[in-house]
Structure 1
Amino acid sequence: MRIGLWIEEEGRSIDELGAAAKAAEDAGVDRIWFSQRNGWDALTLIAGVAPYTSTIGYAVGVVPVYPRHPLALAAQALSVQALIGNRLTLGVGSSHPHVVEGMLGLSMDRPAAYMREYIEALGPLLAGDATDYAGERLTARGQLSIAGAETPELVLAALGPRMLAIAGELTAGTTTSWAGPEVIEQFIRPTMDRAAAAAGRPRPQVVAGNCVALTDDPDGTRSWIRSRFGAAGDMPAYRAVLDRGGKAGPEETAVLGDEKAVAEELRRFADAGTTEFLFCPVGTEVEQQRTIRFALDYAASS
């Protein structure tokens, strides 16, 4: 199982983020992940941070597809790919109704059907091929040529059965949120594997993104997670995966405790079929720094 590290980007400068990325690379972390939220544009941020490193992979988890046409996203992703020496993993996702409909004023009708069209149009463009795609709701005609850009790895944030089937059939895999090892083993992994096998594709990746804290106060840290991320439990896609795992909220999916407890939970994720565990450090500032050091040490020793 590979180790990824989510780096908090909000309120931080390029120099600060570059230093954090270099430390992760030196420790043996496989990939650095940045989020697309309400600050830095994640792909642009990767282009800015990558020169501080030389070998580590970069991933965006994830770019919401509704605001960006496949031609526009492919052009940006391939530009970043060329600039950073072909180390990019492009993660895409649907986002949530309160963002797509509430903030952007766009329709989120039948998101899985739209996502299938989007990826069918995006895939050839990322490979540098011409596309003449005309779907029910999406049209993409054209071709991109960016010198030095190889086809970036494409993953889809998926939690429901239809999205997971698309991820297995059309992409390299999925990145999850709030999914424990039991949900990965019993639902996410077999759903994607069936779709990939039917399409004649290799076994897909499962990148499990979870809150982690090296802490002597798990209950206090769960309260912190509930106050920071509890609203995610009201979002339909997250609510469904939490219910599938029998969890009341995001705080119940966190990996918390001492080094032994966290390492044992990582083994559960690996045994469930997780191919990359994405550390998302949480808690107090002291706890987050301890967690980052543990992630770096774990990567260096695994």
Structure 2
Amino acid sequence: MRIGIAVGDLRRGVAAEELVRQVRSAAERGLSGVWSSQAFGWDALTALAVAGAQVPGIELGTAVVPVPQRHPLVLAGQALSVQAATGNRLTLGIGAGISMMVTDMYGLPADRPATRMREYLSILRPLLRGEAVSHQGDTLTAVGQVGVAGATPPPVLLAALAPAMLRLAGELADGTVTWMTGPQTLADHIVPSVTKAAEAAGRSAPRVVAGLLVSVTNDEQGVRNRVAEQFSLAGQVPEYRAVLDRERAAGPQDVVIVGTENQVERQIRRLEDAGVTDFFAAPFGGPEEQDRTIEVITALAEAEHHRS
């Protein structure tokens, strides 16, 4: 299992210099990749272009870019621009977005998410390959072509929790990327579903990238309380409520990886046993807590490197 780390706003609001420092630190520590989320701060793709252009050698992933507010022609141009700026190291993680935010914030439709995503991927993948598209469908119209010199098509991962999205992740994407999804759900639902879909489509084994909050601490309950407070929305929206219910978790506080060094290591190893191919940790807490967590993540990544 490859081990990476979240950078940018998921850890805390950062200036450009700190963002670059986080990516450089991850590369120097030998972590497999850095993963940038899309929320209400840094644009995830811009963040990776800014930092990745200054730090060579490490995978740069989005986890994830919601696509309803980005037309496939726009996203293809953005992704290929990042590829050109960073030596083709991008892994493009995309998702349907949280329906409440899509409708309330952007005034966009969020019904039939799997139907919309199937159409979106059928346009995006050819565009990333530099092919022209002429598509008039039920949910999208796209006519045009994108070309960026020196850019190659990035792998595409689809954020998927529901069965229909997991089938799409195996059939039309290169795998899936999850957030706040516990080990039992990964083992019993996510991994077998996306793997079966890839096999049925005659595709190679999919990547399963799992992201979770991680905190190495002697105050486990205190961390869980803070996670419950800071990430309370995730426990309420239907998209995350469904996957938390599968894990029999009351909220995000029940799927955080937390405890002493040995306890955290055992919990991360459980993800590998579940079939996760890539794990990225989002260190939680203040600077000292994050530093302690990063040391454990680094040691695990080194151990994985020696095993491979």
The alpha-carbon deviation at position 285 of structure 1 amounts to 3.3
Task: Give CA deviations for 1:105-157 in whole Å, capped at 9, x if unaligned.
Answer: 11111111101110111000011112222221112122222110001010011
The CA distance in 1 between the partners of 2:22 and 2:299, in whole Å, is: 14
Following superposition, the deviation at residue 14 of structure 1 comes to 1.5
Which residue does the alignment assign to 2:4?
4
Q: Which residue of 1 aligns with 2:229?
A: 227
Could you tell me how far apart the structure 2 residues matched to 1:18 and 1:178 are?
A: 25
Q: Trace 1:168-247 onto structure 2 (pairs within 5 A).
A: 168-247=170-249
The one of 159, 162, 165 equivalent to 2:161 is: 159
Q: What does residue 39 of structure 2 align with?
A: 37
Aligned match of 1:22 in 7, 14, 24?
A: 24
Is the contact made by 2:72 and 2:123 (CA closer than 8 Å) also made in structure 1?
Answer: yes
281-290 or 230-239: which moved more?
Answer: 281-290
In 2, the alpha carbon distance for the partners of 1:179 and 1:88 equals: 23
CA distance in 1, matches of 2:82, 2:7: 18
Query: What SS is found at the alignment partner of 1:195?
Result: helix
**Cα distance between partner residues in 1 of 2:287 and 2:20:** 19
Maintained 8 Å contact 1:225/1:283:
no
**What is the aligned counterpart of 2:292 among 278, 286, 290?**
290
Structure 2 unmatched runs, 5+: none
Partner of 1:100: 102
Distance 2:44 2:183 in 1: 28
Residue identity over aligned pairs, in percent, reads 46
Report the Cα offset of residue 299 of structure 1: 1.5
Q: Which amino acid aligns with 1:74?
A: A
Q: Could you tell me whether the CA contact under 8 Å between 1:5 and 1:33 is conserved in 2?
A: yes
Separation in structure 2 between the aligned mates of residue 201 and residue 29 of structure 1, nearest angstrom: 27
Matched residue type, 1:49: A
Instruction: Compute the displacement of 1:284 (Å).
Output: 3.6
SS of equivalent to 1:52: coil
* Partner residue, 1:62: 64
Q: Which amino acid aligns with 2:284?
A: V
Please give the alpha-carbon distance, in whole angstroms, between the structure 2 residues aligned to 1:235 and 1:166.
22
Q: Secondary structure at the match of 1:107?
A: coil
CA contact (8 A) 1:21 1:52 kept: no
* Aligned with 1:48 (options 40, 50, 55): 50
Instruction: Name stretches of at least 5 consecutive residues in structure 1 with no aligned partner.
Output: none
* Contact map agreement 1:19 1:52 (CA 8 A) in 2: no
1:193 Cα deviation from its structure 2 partner: 1.1
| Superposed displacement of residue 279, structure 1 | 0.2
1:78 to partner: Cα distance = 0.4
Q: Distance in 2 between matches of 1:187 and 1:35?
A: 23
Provide Cα deviations, 1:237-281, integer angstroms capped at 9, x if missing partner. 100000011111010001111111111111110011000111011
TM-score (norm 1): 0.97
